[in-house]
Structure 1
Amino acid sequence: MKNDHGFDEVKRILKNNEESLKSIDRRKFLQASGKVASLALGLTIANQFNGLSVSAEAPSFKSYPFTLGIASGEPLPDSVVLWTRLAPDPLNGGGMKQQHDVPVKWEVARDEHFRNVVKHGVEFARAQFGHSVHAEVYGLQPGTEYFYRFKVGNDISQVGRTKTLPPFTANISKLSFAFASCQHYNEYFTAYDHMAKEDLDLVYHLGDYIYETGQSGDGADGRIHNTPEIYTLEDYRNRYALYKSDVDLQKAHEAFPWIVTWDDHEVEDNYAGGVPSKNDQTLAEFAIRRAAAYQAYYEHMPLRRTSMPHKDSMQLYRTLTYGNLAHFNILDTRQYRDDQANGDLWKSPTPESEDPKRTILGDEQEAWLLGELDQSKATWNVLAQQVFFARRDGKMGAGDNLSMDAWDGYPAARNRILSHVRDHNISNLVVLTGDVHTNWANDIKLDYTNPDSPSIGVEFVGTSITSGGDGYDIGSYGINIMKENPHIKFYNNQRGYIRCTVTPQSWQSDYRVVPYVSRPGAAISTRISFKVENGKPGLQNVGQAIAAT
């Protein structure tokens, strides 16, 4: 039962203690983003931006309005979403004094110099949504690279690269993508600088894009949250602005289309559905907070209008089909789940946690997922989701010690999915996971008590971009936990992301890690690579400790 404390008092304290950081200097920002030359060129053609006239409502800005960068996402064979948010004073609510919608021009070209513009138009930066822009561009060619930019008033944005999906039924020989999660602002996002230089088709982000917590902890070189814990819409907007001011994160967004889903820190650590994890809010107060957090998430992500929030709910689970090669089911394991069992996050199984009615997806999303798996014609069937899927006994020696926040806290829901995969002959199940700030590679089994039980799929768990600090390699904990869990084939506590190369014959995941995040400039290396062959579920170690690049 959650205690009832004064939510108005919480908001008053937050408001009285909020201190905004200085606005980003335009020239420094542009230099850091490496776009000075292209923007200077763009400014010379500001009044002939594809022949479109600027509405009288379009303001002139004293400060650069594209301080939060640009992004693309949600690719389809003929379409992509282009995103930006007008924020001349990014950490002060955006700094937009206009309460009306602002017209923003966009254009899409086949070349980064915009000599061959193929689409252009105007999308409004909606005041209701923090003057964010979500331009859904249609009429594009499938499997094609494009470049895009925005213009408002006399200002031109950075230039981004995006790519449409191949036709849904096309025979695809290769897909390259990366997935990441858990980026705490206290440390440097160096891994994104390296990711931006990879040869990728797209990127998945699996949650914890921001952290809602206050200013505790020592930030690297003064990198620290700019306010106490966030509760209101303005709070969440300012927190996203802080994160999106990071140059390395902006580079990764500019380089590839992103497909995003959330976990818990976009609202509150370990919340479950409509239930907060802390005792400082009633259910009604938490509903207000969650609605604010969901709106801010939409405002800052390259999502389609179908994901526009409604009150305190938001449609986020969906699919992405990459030809006949891979069918991605992007899940939401946070919004619809039952509360964590047993009143703790690490517990032995109990009748409560083993209740066959318990759900982590909600009945509607679970039925949708099983239907998508049945309808898939792709070689690889993927769950892109948030929390640890395979069983993981975290206690050495006798007894179980399972995470009630992960699928171990909802074993009946996991069993329903895996039984369906087995009974319906779903091929090549691959689960992509974030959340735990460490790297893991797991065989997925129906019976974890039997080491000889055949594998039914594999799980690649990616570490954090920064959360947890510098980290270390395997150590004694990793060695012991793999002994306790023989289906776990790898553990590592360094930071980075996972790069995946998918073909009709195999799936390879490379664990890309940096040695430190407490200061900039870290090199990146491939710590280990695992391969899965088509039709042969089970991990194969194909390389370790490759030299840094």
Structure 2
Amino acid sequence: MTSAARPSQHAPELRAAARHLGRRRFLTVTGAAAALAFAVNLPTAGTAAAAEFDARRITDDPFTLGVASGDPLPGSVLLWTRLAPQPYQPDGGLPARRVTVHWELAHDANFRRIVRRGTAPAHPELSHTVHVEVPHLPADRVFFYRFRAGAWLSPTGRTRTAPPPGARPTALTLGAVSCQAYADGYYTAYRHLAEDDVDVVFHLGDYLYEYAVNATGNNRNYTDRTLPAHYNRETVTLEDYRLRYALFKSDPDLRAAHAAHPFVVTWDDHETENNYADDTPEDGGSSEEFLLRRASAYRAYWEHQPLRRPQLPTGSDMRLYRRLHWGRLAQFDVLDTRQYRSDQAYGDGWQYPGPESEDPARTLTGATQERWLIDGWRASRALWNVVPQQVTFSRRYNTTATPSKVSMDSWDGYPASRERVLAGAETAGVENLVVLTGDVHVHYAFDIKRDFGDPGSPTVGTEIVTTSITSGRDGADRPSNWATYLAANPHMRFYNGRRGYVTVALGREAARADFKTVPYVTKPGAPVTTAASFVTEAGAPGLVPA
């Protein structure tokens, strides 16, 4: 979106906030928090604690956005919900007062064998969201959970703990999803994923889109409802982002997927703004002003996702990269390739590589996260080292000519950063590397080459790229550039342009990726099919058709 097309109704307030804060002060914790409070008029600390709203006075179902769980640990689960009787209203239909929410965790869906129960406050400062971390649970178990507020009972969710650290599980099946533009169509793929037999779902970014949604939901073409006018603008303020999450999470298929499986989430760009890089907005402009927006986006993201307290943002900063384990079968190093990156070289589109993009100092992850990733590989005892992240890792030429353009927003725009990561994996002795990717609204399967410039270079891992849930609308099995891409990139083993998701089954001997697709999303009810399946053997990187 060009700057000329951007809504400007919030610009005066943000500019005024930015003028009160110099860049140096803003980047301190105190300065960032003050800027956020100034920009979005947050209540002062303690306001919610001073008054409680009796949940028995809630007259409409407050669990309109469903339930969710996330980041399963060997002895702990994280449970989430939000109270919003009127989800399309800025306050969710509740007063600015604390509400006590009851929760239960059980071995069975009928809640006859309760494992743990308790209460949690839903604070208006956090948009009446609830994040419950339940510790001291047995490892490698399935549980059911629910919430109650007054007379209202939430839907039942299903979650699980991870296996203990030294365990050697024989199997794990994960789902990988990304890119769910509400205005592009229906979340039918999520309904199928909810019914699929997976242990955990990895959301690889673009859970939210910042663009305007009109009264009929754009490509959803609603005839049975009218969306409020405040959705028909780009998100900028905290209220905007909260309202947009409420809209997206009101979708029944998304709610079904969250209730069925624990999610591990990471963001890409659209949760804040298209193609931003660190403190640089898409179309340039003031970093101070953009960081005010980023602070609002990050806060709303944490509020509306099943994330633990270590991920709670401070102003415009949020530590989202983190490590999870599935016994000794798999280590998951969840990356954030947006918050710390160098600005894209030559713009953020497809360009020819040059001295700027190939500068060794450029980074996609930031130096701290890069060291954390490689150090984690050195310490890993897992059979499979899986990296859930956002943008295409493998080299991707868009023509058979030499030279060819590459995407400056992906790892191709940061080749020195990719080389350091691949060298780190080699030094650490990582044998079974699997990179999970979203962003591009198509299915890809890649053999990761140690040197993409050398056709004879060894294969050192596998990249599985999941298509979008809806972004790009219906798509096609063979996009117009299908033949060119396969010819230009011999390490690309599969390419499909429909919507859907991927499941990956990790075993002791091999990993299998199944690429699921639906034929349309611009109307509801599409069936799901498996477009292709590939296997990579443990200790022998490289994809072969299953």
TM-score normalised by L of structure 2: 0.88
1:346 aligns with one of 326, 347, 350: 350
Q: How does 1:111-126 map to 2 (within 5 A)?
A: 111-126=108-123
Q: Does 1:427 align with 2:431?
A: yes
Residues of 2 paired with 1:358 and 1:126: CA distance? 41
Cα distance in 2 between the residues matched to 1:82 and 1:3: 39
Question: Which residue of 2 is the match for residue 303 of structure 1?
Answer: 307
Moved more, 104-113 or 469-478: 469-478
| 1:72–1:81 contact (8 Å) kept in structure 2 | yes
Would the alpha carbon gap of residues 93 and 452 (structure 1) be closer, same or farther in structure 2, given more than 3 Å must change?
same
Equivalent of 1:70, from 67, 71, 77? 67
2:286 is the alignment partner of 1:282: yes
1:166 is matched with 163
What's the secondary structure of 1:193's corresponding residue? helix
- Residue 93 (structure 1) shift: 1.5
Shift of 1:59: 4.9
1:28 maps to what in 2? none
* One-letter identity of the residue aligned with 1:88: P
State the SS of the aligned residue for 1:114. coil
Q: Does 1:537 align with 2:535?
A: no
After superposition, the C-alpha distances for 1:358-385 in whole angstroms (9 at most, x for unaligned) are 1110111111000111111000011100
Q: CA separation in 1, counterparts of 2:159 and 2:5?
A: 47
1:358 equivalenced with 2:362 (yes/no): yes
The residue type paired with residue 393 of structure 1 is Y
1:90 to 69, 87, 90: 87
In structure 1, the residue matched to 2:466 is 462
1:236 aligns with 2:234: no
CA distance in 2, matches of 1:56, 1:297: 25
C-alpha distance in structure 1 between counterparts of 2:3 and 2:93, whole Å = 37
Supply the AA of the counterpart residue of 1:210: L
Cα offset, 1:154, TM superposition: 1.3
- Pairing 1:187-336 to 2, within 5 Å after superposition: 187-215=185-213, 218-222=218-222, 226-279=231-284, 281-336=285-340
Q: Hey, what's the Cα distance between the residues in 1 that align with 2:532 and 2:362? A: 36
Partner Cα separation in structure 2 for residue 314 and residue 476 of structure 1:
39
Tell me the CA shift for residue 130 of structure 1: 0.6
Deviations 1:143-199 (A, max 9, x none): 111110001111111111111101111011110110100001120000000000111
- 1:423-459 Cα shifts (integer Å, max 9, x gaps): 2321201100000000000011122122221101110
Partner residue of 2:35? Answer: none
Judge conservation of contact 1:438–1:463 (CA < 8 Å) in 2. Answer: yes
Q: Whole-Å Cα distance in 2 between the matches of residues 262 and 140 of structure 1?
A: 28
Does residue 147 (structure 1) correspond to residue 151 (structure 2)? The answer is no
Name which of structure 1's ranges 96-105 and 214-223 shifts more when overlaid on structure 2.
214-223
Q: Residue 11 of structure 1 contacts residue 232 of structure 1 at CA under 8 Å; is this kept in 2?
A: no
Residue number in structure 2 paired with 1:394: 398
- Superposition deviation, residue 346 in structure 1: 0.9
Q: Which amino acid aligns with 2:207?
A: Y
Q: Which residue is 2:128 aligned to?
A: 131
Query: What does residue 172 of structure 2 align with?
Result: 175
**2:347 maps to amino acid:** G
Structure-2 separation of matches of 1:222 and 1:12? 34
Instruction: Give the 5 Å matches for 1:96-115.
Output: 96-115=93-112
Deviation string, structure 1 residues 78-125 (Cα, Å, up to 9, x no partner): 111100011111111243443232211100011111111110011111
For 1:380 and 1:7, the matched residues in 2 are separated by 46
Indicate if the aligned counterparts of 1:5 and 1:282 stay in contact, CA closer than 8 A.
no
**Distance change (3 Å), C-alpha of 1:424 and 1:248:** same
2:330–2:384 contact (8 Å) kept in structure 1: yes
Question: Distance in 2 between the 1:336 and 1:398 partners?
Answer: 31
Return the offset for 1:8: 7.3
Secondary structure of the equivalent of 2:60?
coil
**Which secondary structure state, in structure 1, belongs to the residue aligned with residue 116 of structure 2?**
strand
CA distance change for structure 1 residues 438 and 506 in 2, over 3 Å: closer, same or farther? same
Q: Which residue of 1 aligns with 2:408?
A: 404
Identity of aligned residues (%): 48
Q: Give 3-state SS (helix, strand or coil) of 1:341's partner.
A: coil
Deviations 1:251-285 (A, max 9, x none): 00000110000000000000001110025x52111
* 1:538/1:5 CA distance change after superposition, 3 Å: closer
* CA-CA distance at 1:56 after TM superposition: 6.9
CA contact (8 A) 2:53 2:99 kept: no
Asked if residue 157 in structure 1 is aligned to residue 154 in structure 2, the reply is yes
Q: Answer yes or no: is the 8 Å Cα contact 2:53–2:98 preserved in 1.
A: no
CA drift at 1:335: 0.4
CA contact (8 A) 1:7 1:285 kept: no
- C-alpha separation between the residues in 2 aligned to 1:255 and 1:215? 28
Among residues 488, 492, 497, which one is paired with 2:496 in the alignment?
Answer: 492
Letter aligned with residue 238 of structure 2: L
Per the alignment, in what secondary structure is the counterpart of residue 196 of structure 1? helix
- Corresponding letter in the other structure for 2:198: L
Determine if contact 2:188/2:526 at 8 Å carries over to the other structure.
yes
Question: C-alpha displacement at 1:13, in angstroms?
Answer: 11
CA RMSD of aligned residues (A): 2.1
1:479 positional shift: 1.6
* Structure 1: tracts of 5 or more residues without a match: 15-54, 543-549
How many equivalent pairs are there?
A: 500
Q: What is the SS of the residue equivalent to 2:57?
A: coil
Instruction: Indicate if the aligned counterparts of 2:10 and 2:237 stay in contact, CA closer than 8 A.
Output: no
- The 3 A distance-change label for structure 1 pair 447 and 215 is same
Distance 2:291 2:464 in 1: 33
CA distance, structure 2, for counterparts of residue 218 and residue 241 of structure 1 = 17
Partner Cα separation in structure 2 for residue 9 and residue 240 of structure 1: 20
The letter for the 2-side match of 1:220 is: R
Q: Flag the 1:6–1:474 CA change in 2: closer, same or farther, 3 A.
A: closer
CA distance in 1, matches of 2:4, 2:292: 14
Gaps of at least 5 residues in structure 2 are: 15-51
TM-score, L = length of structure 1: 0.88
On the 8 A contact 2:165/2:327 being kept in 1, the answer is yes
CA spacing shift, 1:99–1:344, aligned 2, 3 Å: closer
1:185 aligns with 2:182: yes
8 Å Cα contact 1:69/1:157 also seen in 2: yes
1:10 aligns with 2:7: no
Aligned pairs (5 A) from 1:42-53:
none
Which amino acid in 2 is paired with 1:380?
W
Shift of 1:477: 1.5
Rounded to whole Å, the distance in 1 between the matches of 2:211 and 2:11 is 14
1:380 matched to which residue of 2?
384
Q: Deviations over 1:316-349 (max 9, x none)?
A: 0001100110100000000000100112421111
Q: Which runs of 4+ in 1 moved over 6 A?
A: 2-8
Deviation at 1:5, TM superposition (A): 12
Whole-angstrom distance in 2 between the partners of 1:517 and 1:245: 17
Per the TM alignment, residue 313 of structure 1 is displaced from its structure 2 partner at its CA by 0.6
